[in-house]
Amino acid sequence: MILQTARISSEEKEEETVLVVTVAVSNKTVAFLQEGIKEITRSSSLTPIPGMPESVVGLVNLRGEPEALLDFRSLVSISKEPPLQVFQILLGEMGELRAALYVDEVLDLLDVPKQDIIPPPSDLDENLKPLLVGEISYGDEKIPLFSFSHTLARLARRDS
Amino acid sequence: MPAIGESRCVNDCVMKSVSGVGGVTEEMWVLFRVGDSLFGASGAQISQIVTPDFSLLGKLDSLNFPYFLPQPGKSPIACAELSRILFPPETPKVASSTLLLLKQSPLALLVGDIVDVLGLPKDELRPLPLILRKIRLREAICGIGFREDRSFCVLDLDGDMLLSPEERQEAERLLKVSSPKGRRKSHGRKATKLS
């Protein structure tokens, strides 16, 4: 009986998963923890803001409210391609601040077992440590897994 | 004196529109392009919209004010390129075809084409998102408006953020030098080069 309980507990532990959103941006595939993402939507109206810093792509119209569209590529050394005509956004909230991340396309929403997440390398850049959760397998490749809320918060601190 | 270009008086248009809706709640907004971007400004800040013949504009030796608009019987107007004010210097030069003459000062802004003149209650403008509260030109942006599904930044053309008091003074100085009276006064000094 004791052994059986131990086995169930072990199976439960194995099944502990996190929801992950995989996205394509500038010909790279990366993943974000779904936690903190309020909405995923498609947009084609991008308004550049004069004087905007490198980490802001512009404004998008989301049901009549302008939302700041932030660019995480500036944080993680992904080369910056011009925004696509039609793109997708991941909207998040941090208290009273709302902002969205620009991505070219959302690829998948996956349930990833926690044990499948490879921890980030120990010699990771200090700036990236709070953002990078680890790596996951996606198709034939390993892709970085970022914390959405930490990434958005870092970009918001840069611009506010 | 040949005509400088076609012009339209925005304030007549504003007055007609305001009386047309039977109140003063609706304001007219002039929508114009700068490069690929759409911007707006209150019609109350613009005295005229001019599509100039560029060959008839005077040239000033100034990065901020590359042209002046001669006006028969009146003082000339210094013209600034709005794209140079709004976007970083490394931004590729964009085509300008239209002059917005400001009501409050003898200045004009060169912009792309006029897209629309839109009646919109001021309270329908949305504020800039909080997250952008510290961007460089924050104070120059009155709000965000929407036309169809596209948003545009509404600019305060009279404020000190687009053109600083120093830049306005520079325009006055350049125009003094460019006027015949000013040229006589500047005899013997290094005059601003005109071509």
CB atoms within 10 A of CB A51: 20
For residues B19 and A65, what is the distance between their CA atoms, to the nearest angstrom?
30
pLDDT higher than 90, residue A145: yes
Closest residue in A to B161 (Cα) is A51
For residues A25 and A2, what is the distance between their CA atoms, to the nearest angstrom?
50
Pick from B34, B83, B132 the residue to mutate for testing the A interface (most A CBs within 10 Å). B132
Q: What percent of chain A has pLDDT over 90?
A: 54
User: Of A86 and B25, which is predicted with more confidence?
Assistant: A86
> Which of A41-55, A68-82, A139-153, B83-97 has the largest mean confidence?
A139-153
pLDDT higher than 70, residue A45: yes
Q: What pLDDT tens digit does each residue of chain B (195 aa) get?
A: 444 555 555 544 443 444 334 444 568 999 999 988 899 999 999 999 998 888 888 888 888 888 999 888 888 899 999 998 888 777 777 788 899 999 988 899 999 999 999 888 888 899 998 888 778 888 899 999 988 878 899 999 988 888 888 888 888 888 776 655 544 343 333 333 333
b (16+ CB within 10 A) / e for B108-117: bbbbbebbeb
Q: Categorize the per-residue pLDDT at A7 as very low, low, confident or very high, splitting at 50, 70 and 90.
A: low
State the average pLDDT over residues A17-23: 96
Output phi, psi for B181, to 5 deg. Answer: -65, -45
Closest residue in A to B133 (Cα) is A160
Q: Which residue reads 């339209």 in tokens? A: B8
Say what the pLDDT of residue A139 is: 92
Contacts of A59 (CB under 8 A, 6+ apart): A46, A47, A49, A66, A67, A68, A69, B129, B144, B151, B153
State the average pLDDT over residues A74-98: 86
Q: What is the DSSP letter of B127?
A: P
Q: Residue B59: CA atoms inside 13 Å, Cβ hemisphere, count?
A: 6
State the average pLDDT over residues A98-122: 93
DSSP string, A45-64: -EE--TT--TTEEEEEEETT
Task: Nearest by CB to A156, from B131, B136, B137: name it.
Answer: B131
Instruction: For residue B9, give how far its alpha carbon lies from the nearest alpha carbon of chain A (Å).
Output: 27
Pick from A45, A47, A159 the residue to mutate for testing the B interface (most B CBs within 10 Å). A47
**CB-based contact B117:B28 (threshold 8 Å):** yes
* Complex prediction ipTM: 0.74
Contacts of B178 (CB under 8 A, 6+ apart): B58, B60, B68, B76, B192, B194
Is the overall model pTM greater than 0.80, yes or no? no
Q: How confident is the prediction for chain A on average, in pLDDT?
A: 86
**CB-based contact A99:A55 (threshold 8 Å):** no
Task: Nearest by CB to B135, from A51, A65, A98: name it.
Answer: A51
Q: Are B128 and A50 an interchain contact pair (Cβ–Cβ within 8 Å)? A: no
